[in-house]
């Protein structure tokens, strides 16, 4: 049975038995110091607007807001640490943990997770590179997120090498015919677009992640039927990816808007909800 939980994740995590979950992926708040929100925009014909479809002029008006949450923490590590201690506790001995973050808090979170998981159990830092939105005129434009990959026990953990996605070689002529046909495995840096404004996948939730970037973590670090947890689940992107890949899931979020989106989005799977 899959679960969608409306709760503070610290409280709910405490109810999960030790070593219960095969895989944990979570996309934590980034401490961006702002309210993460998506405005609902309606384009209306207006004489003063910009020229658009059919030769008409359109203005863009904000009509409300989609799922939003406050992403501002006075002491971020103090907030995260007890939750990460629970994450470590509920993970199986063969389990893996992927923590999705950005450049602002990544270094501090890495030091904390090294303490909790043991530095030896840190396996890799993956970089998701995307390319959308504004650019900075006074800084290098940040268009990547960091995903810290830990295992509970580096001596034995699920890692399905053959499930790593393959992409075309940059110079297939140098690789030889057979290798070029197979493609090269994705390494620790990968490119993928964000969830597009017109995408079918879009739930209108601030900071929603594309399921295509999550699926490889699930396929490589778990097996069909395994139980996967996301304690900061947002619009439930990980649940959607798990459903499609035949894994069971537990999704937790303390935002009622996220809970409503997940209930609707994941209703096609066998779900139990609790609040
Ligand atoms: C970066 S978003 C996750 C987005 C998600 N990966 C998706 O694709 O939609 C972080 C989420 O953490 C939730 N959150 C923040 N503090 C929480 C807490 N103490 N317990 C549970 N959820 C929390 C927020 O409501 C927000 O939905």
The model's pTM: 0.90
| Mean pLDDT computed over 77-103 | 98
Give the Cα separation of 201 and 203 in Å (integer): 6
For position 27, what pLDDT does the model report? 98
Going by CA atoms, what residue is nearest to atom 7 of ligand 1?
208
| Mean pLDDT computed over 120-124 | 98
Of 57 and 224, which is predicted with more confidence? 224
| Mean pLDDT computed over 236-259 | 97
For position 41, what pLDDT does the model report? 55
For residue 196, pLDDT beyond 90:
no
Among 141, 153, 114, 265, CA closest to 200: 265
Give the Cα separation of 248 and 271 in Å (integer): 10
List the domains of the chain with CATH numbers: 2-33+72-165+193-274 (3.40.50.150), 38-69 (no CATH)
Question: What's the angle, vertex CA 222, arms to CA 15 and CA 103, rounded to 5?
Answer: 80
The three-state secondary structure class of 217 is helix
Say which range, 44-48, 100-104, 206-210, 243-247, has the weakest mean pLDDT.
Answer: 44-48
CA of 9 to the centre of ligand 1 (A): 9
**Residues with a CB atom less than 6 Å from ligand 1:** 8-9, 27, 29, 69, 205, 207-209, 232, 234-235, 237, 252-255, 258
Going by CA atoms, what residue is nearest to atom 5 of ligand 1?
234
Cβ atoms within 10 Å of 248's Cβ, excluding its own:
21
Give the tens place of pLDDT for each residue, 144-169.
999 999 999 999 999 999 999 999 99
Q: How many helices (H) and strands (E) does the chain have?
A: 8, 15
For position 32, what pLDDT does the model report? 85
């Amino acid at each position: 049975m899959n679960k969608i939980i409306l709760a503070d994740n610290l409280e709910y995590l405490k109810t999960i038995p030790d070593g219960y979950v095969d895989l944990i992926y979570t996309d934590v708040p980034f401490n961006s110091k702002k309210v993460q929100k998506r405005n609902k925009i309606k384009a209306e014909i207006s004489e003063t607007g910009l020229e658009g479809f059919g030769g008409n002029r359109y203005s863009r008006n904000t009509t409300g807001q989609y799922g939003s949450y406050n992403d501002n923490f006075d002491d971020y590590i103090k907030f995260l640490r007890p939750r990460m201690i629970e994450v470590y506790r509920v993970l199986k001995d063969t389990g893996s943990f992927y923590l999705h973050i950005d450049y602002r808090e990544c270094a501090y979170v890495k030091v904390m997770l090294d303490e909790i998981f043991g530095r030896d159990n840190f396996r890799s830092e993956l970089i998701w590179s995307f390319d959308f939105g504004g650019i900075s005129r006074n800084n290098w434009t940040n268009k990547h997120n960091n995903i810290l990959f830990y295992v509970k026990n580096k001596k034995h953990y699920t890692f399905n090498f053959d499930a790593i996605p393959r992409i075309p070689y940059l110079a297939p002529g140098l690789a030889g015919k057979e290798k070029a046909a197979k493609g090269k495995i994705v390494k620790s840096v990968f490119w993928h677009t964000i969830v597009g404004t017109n995408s079918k996948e879009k739930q209108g939730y601030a900071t929603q992640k594309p399921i295509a970037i999550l699926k490889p973590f699930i396929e490589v670090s778990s097996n069909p039927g395994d139980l996967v947890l996301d304690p900061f689940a947002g619009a439930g992107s990980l649940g959607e990816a798990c459903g499609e890949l035949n894994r069971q899931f537990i999704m937790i979020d303390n935002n009622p808007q996220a809970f409503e989106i997940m209930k609707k989005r994941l209703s096609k799977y066998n779900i139990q909800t609790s609040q």
